[in-house]
Structure 1
Amino acid sequence: MKKTLILLGAALAFSSAFAQVSPVGLWRSIDDKTGEPKAEIRITDSGGVLTGRIEKTLKKDAKPTCEECRDERKGQAINGLEIIRGAKKTEGQDVWENGKILDPENGKEYTLRLAPIEGGQKLQVRGYIGPFFRTQTWVRVQ
């Protein structure tokens, strides 16, 4: 009985650790220019496709709605706003790519690359326009 419980516990611990090497979960975005926390974003997986929504803004001067957005998100509340769309796992790698990420501060959408780092406790978020990119490191919220 004890041996079974130990094995079960080890299997659960392993599966939890394995599941953490994924962008799925709650993240605190950190401004790459100021180092200050900006928002908490929840990333979910639906059939292998990732989406992410702002759960809570952390900036005191954050606008309440996305006035800079250029699509159906224009005028929507920042809290609850979908900012990540369509990212899919790259086969054989712990990288999710080819989606889009929205910067609600300027309304621009960028091609997206997500890569869990440090055992899944941080997330490298890279947005591209052509050969130019910007990278932020988000921190998993426990």
Structure 2
Amino acid sequence: MTATRWLGLATLTVLFATSALAQEASVLGRWTTIDDATKKPKSIVTIYEEGGKLFGKVEKLFREPNEEQNPLCDKCEGALKNQPILGMIVLRDLKKDGNEWTGGTILDPANGKTYKSKIALEDGGKKLKVRGFIGIALIGRTQYWMRAE
């Protein structure tokens, strides 16, 4: 086989491998959360993996100029009571389960409550379906987070 053919074959192999990786979207990264009432961006949560589990940390809050820019979680309990929401880990211990990540929890700083949670990618990785629930997944609330730029 000539050097030109080898180079062509190597180029095709790299292109196919890169294409396959690009198609496999990841839940990791920055996500814009949307306020249920106003439908406006509420925060940016960064999802990262540690020890085979997913976690989500509040990276940024979208607040009105007249609002407290770094509010405390006054409704949280325990160690999180009166801690800054900015930098808080709100998504914890999700494990890969087929096309979803399940078995973890999500904290709602607005009411200080922690719920069971599961997440899944939608719309080719542009949207994240986030489900918080009590007991079984049928009883709960779903939010859609958009991938942050």
- Secondary structure of 1:72's counterpart equals helix
Structure 1: unaligned runs, 5 residues or longer: none
CA contact (8 A) 1:112 1:127 kept: yes
In the alignment, which residue of structure 1 is the partner of 2:80? Answer: 73
Structure 1 segments of 4+ aligned residues over 4 angstroms from their partners: none
2:29 is equivalent to residue 12 of structure 1: no
Q: Give the 5 Å matches for 1:122-137.
A: 122-131=127-136, 132-137=139-144
Larger RCO (CA within 8 A; separation ≥ 6): 1
Structure 2: unaligned runs, 5 residues or longer: 1-6
Identity %: 38
CA distance in 2, matches of 1:9, 1:78: 43
CA contact (8 A) 1:121 1:139 kept: yes
The code of the aligned residue for 1:102 comes to L
The code of the aligned residue for 2:118 comes to R
CA contact (8 A) 1:29 1:137 kept: yes
Matched residue count:
138
* 1:3 Cα deviation from its structure 2 partner: 3.8
2:145 is equivalent to residue 101 of structure 1: no
Could you say which structure has the larger radius of gyration?
2
The code of the aligned residue for 1:44 comes to Y
The alignment's TM-score, normalised by the length of structure 2, stands at 0.84
CA distance in 1, matches of 2:96, 2:60: 26
Coordinate RMSD, CA, aligned: 1.6
Deviates more, 1:59-68 or 1:93-102: 59-68
CA distance in 2, matches of 1:31, 1:72: 25
